[in-house]
């Protein structure tokens, strides 16, 4: 259970730090002249949505800085999900081994 807690903390850190990067660099999601930066709350929201659904990048405008941040988000979330799947898989394998030992006793 400790690994899952650390994955949640790292996910929160990923979303908030990339939201801060959007705020600091004034990254926009639109290439329209005079477009303002997304800000911390909206930037973090956009990052959270791309963490949950990487396919949400389809509607992004042609702003390369925003695309780069979303790419980092997608790669980070894939990394976290692969760790989560590996943790669950090893937990299931451990339980199956315990069950095999119990069955052999009987």
pLDDT, tens digit (0-9, with 9 covering 90-100), for 29-85: 777 777 778 889 988 998 888 888 767 666 666 788 888 898 898 899 889 999 999
Number of helices and strands (H, E) in the chain? 3, 0
Mean pLDDT in residue range 93-97: 93
Which of the two residues, 28 and 61, has the higher pLDDT score? 28
pLDDT of residue 10: 92
Domain that holds residue 7: 2-105
Q: How many domains, the chain?
A: 1
Domain at 20, CATH number:
1.10.287
pLDDT of residue 1: 64
Among residues 26, 7, 17, the alpha carbon closest in space to that of 47 is found at 17
pLDDT of residue 24: 92
Model confidence at 94: pLDDT above 80: yes
In whole angstroms, what is the distance from residue 63 CA to residue 29 CA? 6
In whole angstroms, what is the distance from residue 101 CA to residue 79 CA? 33
What does R_g of the chain's alpha carbons equal in angstroms? 20
């Amino acid at each position: 259970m400790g690994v899952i807690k650390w994955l949640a903390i790292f996910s929160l850190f990923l979303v908030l730090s990339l939201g801060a990067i959007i705020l600091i660099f004034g990254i926009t999601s639109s290439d329209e002249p005079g477009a303002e930066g997304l800000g911390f709350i909206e930037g973090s929201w956009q990052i959270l949505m791309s963490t949950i659904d990487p396919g949400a990048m389809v509607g992004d405008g042609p702003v390369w800085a925003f695309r780069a941040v979303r790419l980092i988000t997608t790669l980070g979330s894939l990394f976290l999900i692969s760790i989560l799947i590996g943790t669950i898989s090893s937990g299931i394998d451990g339980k199956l081994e315990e069950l095999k030992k119990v069955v052999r006793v009987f």
